[in-house]
Amino acid sequence: MTRKQKRLAIIGGCVGFLVLAAFLVMFAFSQAIAYFYVPSDLAKADVPPGTRIRLGGVVEAGSVNRGDGKTVTFTVTDTLSGVPVTYTGILPDLFREGQGVVTEGTFVAGSSVFVADSVLAKHDETYMPKDVADRLKAQGVELSGKETIK
Amino acid sequence: MIIELGHYALVLALATAVIQAALPILGARLNDRGLMELASSAAVACFLLVAFAFAVLTFAYVTSDFSVRNVWENSHSLKPLIYKISGVWGNHEGSMLLWLLILTFFSALVAAFGRNLPETLTANVLAVQAWIAMAFALFILLTSNPFARLVPAPGEGKDLNPILQDVGLAIHPPLLYLGYVGFSVCFSFAVAALIEGRIDAAWARWVRPWTLAAWTFLTAGISMGSYWAYYELGWGGWWFWDPVENASFMPWLAGTALLHSALVMEKREALKIWTVLLAIMTFSLSLLGTFLVRSGVLTSVHAFATDPTRGIFILAILVFFIGGAFALFAFRASHLKAGGIFAPISREGALVFNNLILTTATATVLTGTLYPLVLEALTGDKISVGPPFFNMTFGLLMLPLLFAVPFGPLLAWKRGDLAGVSQRLFAAVAIGLLCGTAYYYFMNGGPVLALFGIALGVYLIVGSLTDLALRSGLGKVAGNVAWRRFSGLPRSAFGTALAHIGLGITLVGVVAVTAFETETVVEMKPGMTVDAGGYSLRFDGMRNGSGPNYTEESGHFTISRGGVTLSEVWSSKRLYQARRMPTTEAGIRTFGLSQLYVSLGDQINEGGIVVRIWWKPMILCIWGGTLFMMAGGFVSLSDRRLRVGAPAKAKRPKSVPVGAAE
Amino acid sequence: MLFWILVATLTAAVAAVLILPLLRAGEAPSSPHSHDIEVYRDQLEELKRDQDSGLIGGDDAELARAEVARRLLAAGESDGETAPAAAPRRGVSRLAQAFVLLCLPAVGLCLYLLTGSPGLPAQPLAARLADPNGDINILIAKAENHLAVNPNDGAGWDLLAPIYMRNGRVEEAVDAYDRAIRLLGPTPARLGGYAEALVVQSDGVVTNKAQDALKQALSLDPNDPRSEFYLALGLKQEGKKEEALTAFNRLVATSPADAPWLPLVKQHVAELAGPGAASAAAPGNPSADDVAAAQSMSAGDRQEMIRGMVDSLESRLKENPDNLEGWARLIRSHVVLDQRDKALAALREGLKIFPADGDGGKQLLALARELGIATDGVTQ
């Protein structure tokens, strides 16, 4: 191989690889990302069953029902509307009624219950997930700091 | 008064940095020795001043001086001494001061060891370091001053977040910063080379140890953070692809690439321009990481600073340094002479392959981390890019690299013999497949992909050992000769092998845990038994207890196998009083390299409780592998070749023209 | 003074360290290529070692050696070409020295005076505990430390509760009163204090919980003026004008003629009895005067307490200005303390955060008008 050919081979290989990687990323974006919603978005946006989404909001006071122990049901609300959620597993330490929470999972076909496979709360007792706070604000719901902190 | 003196020392450090940033560059231009030598004195002085300021802040923490706002906000007089000290960097202001301390420490090291470097290079490098120090000192003083005072002083502090009161987290940030900030030296070398418009052989030799040191510390920091998250958060996970984790992982990937490209550059004088670019990119990613974490733009479980002015200030620093460096690069890169040529199949070719994949992988992680932010800014849509995305892109991209790793050291420079190398690695492939199959059967089946994953890991380990064996001529020459050759191998060869073995071990751990982990969530009453990973756990009951600043409820479990009682484990939920904050203290028992992980959920009626039990096969391999990588880093760092590259004083008259020596 | 001497010494020391290399200036630097030559020499040696130990074959070694040797030669040649260094320039060195001497004190002092608190002594906790010397926070901390160990010391809580109140730590005061009552039993003073803390906590509204405590206090001492006043105020807030008027009138009758709270009580009586009563006191919207006047009913320096509250509120707002209620309370408190200029200043500050044309700003302006602060010109 001449000098030029060597260089071309290397550069060609690199470009080919990069194109491949770009396609992979595009594909992954179409498959593996979850949109974030608060309950009142769901009325407007029609989320097909089986699509992974994140659902955020506040755990409605008095809605937590620990059923047979492992499976917990509760309602995530943005004060305008609420969505019933079921979750099997151990809730995070900071999961509390009246506190912000983000759940991830899917809607099951033919049911309005959101089946979550992960529930997130933050390392901080004064936590309101940023997504939730922003969205709730956008919905015109002001959360007074007092209630959420105390 | 001592507090204010510390504060003044910090301001004076900024003033010193201003001088260090301005005069040495001028000196390099004018070829004026005095101005260039000023850089070294200034760097040392600057470090001492910042160190004094840091010591004063630590003193304030240790003595619980609540007239310092930062101490009041993050400390408590009853906290154990070690957490008083670690509290210094357990908050935004203090951690930025630590950042600056490490930055100036590296500058001082360059000044101390830089006597061997060409004077103009030292001067320029230290000047660039001073630009960074200046920016961060200004940031600290104007937006996050740890020496702000409170009058009158409160009587008691607000305490540190209990989740941060942990030995692992006490040393995680300093290690991480040693890594992050260590790359600043590579960055400064790159920018200095661009300013001078030339790179010589000594340059590559000098960049490599810094890269190696930074990379080793960053490895340690990331590994420590991952282990902390694993045992402290009680979720049983060891890597979440959380943006903050990605923020530290991206410089690590780029740094790994830099480590390898600097090798090509030193040995073969090729890839010069690319190495410079990579050095700039690596530190840019470090800065980006600092920005992402400190500005609070992320929805992350880690970001403890959420202050827009700070965010904008760091963004300005980011734009200035990254933009400036890339502009300089665009302007000056053509001045750098291109180096040697090589065949695609060669050691250089293998290292280019390594760089290609590592940088592409970095780019996908960057895309996945920033895409949600960009999308939200553009359309307002909020999305989350989670593990599925990263596993699909990053995981797939890394596969060919992992397979290629053992080939690199076996290929010759310039022109390699792929067929010959493949032949030599045949044994490694065979052993790998054998181990994979054996483990697969041992685990009674599972995903077939896991078989190949384990095989790949073992192949990496054996392949790296193959390199050492071939180099010492094992099997070809007599045993004692082979031993002599083996012990005579350069340390860097051992370093390479150790790091690659570590990679293999980590891979084995990751694959085993991902494929064979079992998770059981069950409601247990005292006396009930649950099976996990071949062991039986019996729940014996709950107990209430209390520690110095918390109360806890602990569950007691007895572990047995085949009817024989082996061990016991306590798992607890704590409530920290000062902040009324609950935490989970998972119960972890180790069996060989595997672990049983028990965490408690909510209590239900009649003494029952929800329990989550994981069996984590081979999980310790994940962090064990990183220990090997670190060992590899340190061993390479001790290689004598990295310490030379300097003209001895006595030889100078020979190489310096007579006219100049007057 | 000692502080400034130390500052000067530190600055001078750093300046000396920086200027020293400049004074030695003159010697020209060595050629950069000499470093390259050394690297190449070392590579040759390494090659030799590798060959000796059999790590590299003879042919390969020869090729590599030739390559390194070529580079070595090239470096040696360009070494000769290096231009002789310029003669040392005295002028440049002088300028540099001047820059150092100017920059250090100028940057140092300017920035320090901007951000620092010169001369403020360090205050290690141990020293403060040993010699509290009127440091109220330390006395509180001492008491807190004691109570953390002995949470059943009712007398301690009883002592601490009013101090908390005076320092504006209302929530802790509520808790301390609560504990003192539980541990030592109710007295009119404790119950009254508890109710008062509750009232302040809920921004002046006499809540049901507070009313219960007040009623209990009155059952123990039917002539406790503070309790009587707050109960009356509660009635007024609920819109029960008749009953409130009766209660206030009774308070006037039982109070000594020179009692400091009488004017305010009489004002309430006038409001309730007068024709414009309804608008002056809308339910649930008590004026801060009420709280202030009531506070003059029990012993202790009530003004001082409000001042403490105002100070703490101010500092909290400085830290976290996004708090409409806080600004409203601050303005009101300044009016209570009869510091109308400060109230006006607080209004201006608050309007910076909540613009006058927004909802928050409008509320602040309305409040100011209600309190009789001239709002002309504040919005510019």
Considering the domain boundaries, does residue B462 fall inside one? yes
Give the closest-approach CA distance of C103 to chain B in angstroms: 7
Chosen from A17, A25, A122, A127 to mutate, greatest number of chain B CBs within 10 A: A25
- B316: CB partners within 8 A, 6+ apart: none
Q: Which of residues 386-425 of B touch C (CB under 8 A)?
A: 412-414
Nearest to A109 by CA among A55, A51, A36: A51
Amino acid identity for residue B319 in this structure: V
CA distance C194 to C183: 14
C-beta separation of C38 from B647 below 8 A: yes
pLDDT tens-digit series, residues C338-351: 677 778 888 888 88
Instruction: Output the average pLDDT for chain B.
Output: 86
Bigger pLDDT: B298 or C211? C211
How many CA atoms within 13 Å lie on the side-chain side of A92? 25
Q: Is B319 an interface residue toward A (CB < 8 Å)? A: no
CA distance C257 to C253: 9
Please check whether residues A16 and A54 belong to one and the same domain. no
Q: Which two tokens stand for residue B236?
A: 């049983």
Give the closest-approach CA distance of B60 to chain C in angstroms: 7
Nearest to C7 by CA among C105, C87, C101, C151: C105
**φ, ψ dihedrals at A59, nearest 5°:** -75, 120
- A27: CB partners within 8 A, 6+ apart: B392
Average pLDDT over residues B577-605: 82
Average pLDDT over residues B150-158: 80
Average pLDDT over residues C161-178: 83
Q: Which two tokens stand for residue B304?
A: 């403890």
Determine the Cα angle at B594 with ends B593 and B599, to 5°: 140
Sign of CA dihedral C153, C154, C156, C161: positive
Please check whether residues B534 and B457 belong to one and the same domain. no
Considering only CB atoms, which chain A residues are within 8 Å of B163?
Answer: 123
> Could A28 and B393 be called an inter-chain contact, meaning their C-beta atoms sit closer than 8 Å?
yes
Q: Where are the domains of chain C?
A: 136-185, 196-207+216-288, 302-370
What burial letters (b/e) apply to B397-407, b meaning 16+ CB within 10 Å? bbeebbeebbb
A95-104, B475-484, B534-543, C340-349: which is most confident: B534-543
pLDDT tens-digit series, residues B323-332: 999 999 998 8
Give the chain A residue whose CA is nearest to the CA of B297.
A130
The pLDDT assigned to B354 comes to 93
Average pLDDT over residues B11-15: 96
| pLDDT above 70: percentage of residues in chain B | 93
Nearest to B328 by CA among B25, B19, B31, B18: B25
Q: Which of residues 331-350 of B touch A (CB under 8 A)?
A: 341-344, 349
Considering only CB atoms, which chain B residues are within 8 Å of A34?
Answer: 383-384, 386
- Give yes or no for residue B657 having a pLDDT over 60: no
Please check whether residues A70 and A106 belong to one and the same domain. yes
Q: How many CB pairs under 8 A join B and C?
A: 256
Q: Which of B40-44, C90-94, C150-154, C305-309 has the lowest mean pLDDT?
A: C305-309
pLDDT tens-digit series, residues A80-118: 788 889 888 777 777 777 777 888 888 887 778 888 888
Beta partners for B210?
none
Q: Is B605 an interface residue toward A (CB < 8 Å)? A: no
Bigger pLDDT: A142 or B268? B268
The DSSP H or E segment spanning B609 is: strand B608-616
The pLDDT assigned to C217 comes to 87
Considering only CB atoms, which chain B residues are within 8 Å of A9?
Answer: 344
Count of the separate structural domains present in chain A = 2
Give the chain B residue whose CA is nearest to the CA of A150.
B580
* Local confidence band at B339 (pLDDT 50, 70, 90 cut-offs): low
pLDDT tens-digit series, residues A18-68: 999 999 988 888 877 788 887 877 777 777 888 888 888 888 878 888 766
Determine the Cα angle at B14 with ends B12 and B18, to 5°: 115
Please check whether residues B595 and B626 belong to one and the same domain. no
- Three-state DSSP at B359 gives helix
The pLDDT assigned to C363 comes to 78
Count of the separate structural domains present in chain B = 3
Considering only CB atoms, which chain B residues are within 8 Å of C29?
Answer: 31, 33, 36, 118-120
pLDDT tens-digit series, residues C255-302: 777 777 777 788 788 877 765 444 433 334 445 555 555 554 543 344
β-pairing, B535-546 vs A100-107, is unpaired
* Local confidence band at B108 (pLDDT 50, 70, 90 cut-offs): very high
Please check whether residues A65 and A99 belong to one and the same domain. yes
A79-83, B240-244, C35-39: which is most confident: B240-244
CATH number at residue B37: 1.20.120
From B163, B389, B573, residue closest to A28, measured CB to CB? B389
CA distance B512 to B594: 10
From B14, B45, B414, residue closest to C107, measured CB to CB? B14
Considering the domain boundaries, does residue B255 fall inside one? no
**Which stretches of B31-118 are DSSP H helices?**
33-62, 69-74, 81-86, 92-113
> Could C108 and B12 be called an inter-chain contact, meaning their C-beta atoms sit closer than 8 Å?
yes
- Three-state DSSP at B612 gives strand
Give the chain A residue whose CA is nearest to the CA of B388.
A32
Q: How far is CA B594 from CA A80, B438, B531, in A?
A: 48, 17, 15
Please check whether residues B37 and B82 belong to one and the same domain. yes
Chosen from B19, B268, B476 to mutate, greatest number of chain C CBs within 10 A: B19
Nearest to C17 by CA among B108, B201, B541: B108
The pLDDT assigned to A134 comes to 59
CA distance B458 to B243: 30
> Could B583 and A69 be called an inter-chain contact, meaning their C-beta atoms sit closer than 8 Å?
no
* Local confidence band at B456 (pLDDT 50, 70, 90 cut-offs): very high
Q: Which of B356-365, C20-29, C34-43 has the lowest mean pLDDT?
A: C20-29
Residue A1's domain comprises 1-33
Determine the Cα angle at B438 with ends B435 and B440, to 5°: 110
* Local confidence band at B179 (pLDDT 50, 70, 90 cut-offs): very high
Average pLDDT over residues B441-453: 85
From A6, A21, A32, residue closest to B397, measured CB to CB? A21
Please check whether residues A49 and A99 belong to one and the same domain. yes
The pLDDT assigned to B449 comes to 87
Average pLDDT over residues B21-34: 88
Please check whether residues B512 and B522 belong to one and the same domain. no
> Could C96 and B34 be called an inter-chain contact, meaning their C-beta atoms sit closer than 8 Å?
yes
The pLDDT assigned to B304 comes to 36
Residue B27's domain comprises 1-165
* Local confidence band at B397 (pLDDT 50, 70, 90 cut-offs): very high
CA distance C291 to C304: 14
How many CA atoms within 13 Å lie on the side-chain side of C6? 14
Q: Is B384 an interface residue toward A (CB < 8 Å)? A: yes
* C33-52 vs C58-81: helix crossing angle, rounded to 10: 170
Q: How far is CA B546 from CA B361, B577, C152, in A?
A: 47, 10, 18
Please check whether residues A10 and A42 belong to one and the same domain. no
Q: Which of residues 260-279 of B touch C (CB under 8 A)?
A: 269
Give the closest-approach CA distance of B162 to chain C in angstroms: 18
Residue C31 DSSP label = P
Please check whether residues A54 and A70 belong to one and the same domain. yes
The pLDDT assigned to C293 comes to 55
The pLDDT assigned to A149 comes to 23
* Local confidence band at C164 (pLDDT 50, 70, 90 cut-offs): confident
The pLDDT assigned to A126 comes to 38
* Among B616, B638, B655, residue at a domain's last position: B616
| pLDDT above 90: percentage of residues in chain C | 7
Considering only CB atoms, which chain C residues are within 8 Å of B647?
Answer: 30, 34-35, 37-38
Q: What CATH number does domain C302-370 carry, 2.60.120, 1.25.40, 1.10.287, 2.60.40?
A: 1.25.40
Kindly tell me the number of DSSP H helices and DSSP E strands found in chain B.
23, 10
Considering the domain boundaries, does residue B92 fall inside one? yes
Q: What's the pTM value of the predicted model, to 2 decimals? A: 0.80
Give the residue carrying structure tokens 């692992």.
Answer: B168
Please check whether residues A2 and A65 belong to one and the same domain. no
CA distance B470 to B475: 8
From A25, A70, A120, residue closest to B522, measured CB to CB? A70
Cis peptide, bond prior to residue B152, ω within 30 of zero: yes
Considering the domain boundaries, does residue B145 fall inside one? yes
The DSSP H or E segment spanning A35 is: strand A33-37
The pLDDT assigned to B56 comes to 96
Using CB atoms within 10 Å of the CB of residue A47, give its burial: 0 to 12 exposed, 13 to 18 middle, 19+ buried: middle
C-beta separation of C232 from C251 below 8 A: yes
Give the closest-approach CA distance of B119 to chain C in angstroms: 7
Please check whether residues B522 and B582 belong to one and the same domain. yes
What burial letters (b/e) apply to B442-454, b meaning 16+ CB within 10 Å? eeeeeeeebbbbb
Considering the domain boundaries, does residue B262 fall inside one? no
User: In chain A, which residues touch B (CB < 8 A)?
Assistant: 1, 3, 6-7, 9-10, 13-14, 17-18, 21, 24-25, 27-29, 31-36, 54, 66, 68-70, 88-94, 104, 120, 122-125, 129-131, 134-135
CA distance C49 to B635: 19
